[in-house]
Amino acid sequence: MIERKKTKQVMVGNVPIGGGAPVAIQSMTNTDTADVPATLRQIEELARAGCQLVRVTVPDEAAAAALPELTAASPAPLIADIHFDYRLALAALDAGIAGLRLNPGNIGGAENVRQVARAAKEAGVPIRVGVNSGSLSKEVLARYGGVQAAALVESALSEIAQLEAENFFDIVVSLKASNVPLMLEAYRQLAERVDYPLHIGVTEAGTPRRGSIKSAVGIGALLAQGLGDTLRVSLSGDPVQEIFVAKEILRSLDLYREGVEYIVCPTCGRTRIDLPAIADEIERRVEALDLENKLSKPLKLAIMGCVVNGPGEAREADLGLAGGNGEGALFVKGKTVGKYPAERLVDEFMKLLKVYIKDLEDEN
């Protein structure tokens, strides 16, 4: 079991972050925020996929003007991403935003920080201090001789101190870098210094194929050490794909227990059925049932290539399939319940699954 670091808890809308709450999954829209229909459509897609918090960029007055409509219609709490102009942060707070992401050091001086901190405190809205390796000041870079973990930590502590000076403590902190070892070391150092909840992620991780791996390594390493209260997987393209990767990272560490977990054999020379095709088809059909947010209990499915890795090795699965020579066996809780030709396996598996799910629902 992973022993998570005890942190303070803040509320972003109705989503708790820190204090032992489940790790919250975030993403960010990539639409023009001023385009309300497009942005709202993407927010809804993210929420359906299981995203709990959605960040929107607010680079100008047009984007700020769209926030009242977006916050009123959004199915998930919204976080406004603000840079340089404190007035946009105030406008976002007036619009009912649930969280702010900004750096006190780049919104124009102590008085501006004071106004934003007071308004956020009055509204009960937390602020995420977000330090990135690419945005360190020249002074900090010179002091540390370049981008170092200690430089990221010093910058974060400086930003935090500006909010604390205004008696504002509903703070979440992130120290993101595209270099995984750098990111890991920075978070480790910061966790020794503060007990604010941590937003973790590998920034600019890359394309879905490569970025998913990079994110899994970086985010997973921190989570395995008990660090991280909310996360975002940063991939290029459609942000909805980030949610799947985030869930699977959490699921692999037993930090996310909703929906469906798969145990799938990698296949070997013993396999006598087209297991990859069968596994893909089962996954596609199961996803079409939209069970991720409907099941009252987690579901574990096993798709195994032969009797060696069948019911015995996957006995902890709720139900599964084990291949044979042109046929396969279906099993429930490790016990075989039927054998079928390979061409019928997927259909029979789905029938069995639907009965199993109905029984689960009847129990509740």
**CA 8, CA 171: separation in Å to the nearest integer?**
9
Contacts (Cβ under 8 Å, ≥6 apart) of 134: none
User: For 92-96, 131-135, 139-143, which range has the lowest pLDDT when averaged over its residues?
Assistant: 131-135
Using the predicted structure, report yes or no on whether residue 7 has a pLDDT greater than 70: yes
Mean of pLDDT values over 64-70: 97
Q: Is the dihedral of CA 113, 116, 121, 124 positive or negative?
A: negative
pLDDT digits (tens, 9 = 90+) for 234-282: 999 899 999 999 999 999 999 988 888 898 888 888 778 888 999 999 9
**CA 47, CA 225: separation in Å to the nearest integer?**
28
Q: Is the dihedral of CA 216, 286, 75, 44 positive or negative?
A: positive
Q: pTM of whole model > 0.85?
A: yes
Q: Supply 172's token pair.
A: 């979440």
Of the pLDDT bands very low, low, confident and very high (cuts 50, 70, 90), residue 293 is low
CB 330 within 8 A of CB 337: yes
Instruction: Specify the 3-state DSSP secondary structure of 328.
Output: strand
Q: What is the largest CA-CA distance in the chain?
A: 75
CB 49 within 8 A of CB 242: no
According to DSSP, residue 155 is labeled: H
Q: Is the dihedral of CA 340, 342, 344, 349 positive or negative?
A: positive
CB 235 within 8 A of CB 209: no
**CA 158, CA 106: separation in Å to the nearest integer?**
12
Select the more confidently predicted residue: 270 or 348. 348
Among candidate residues 136, 57, 42, the one with its CA nearest the CA of residue 89: 57
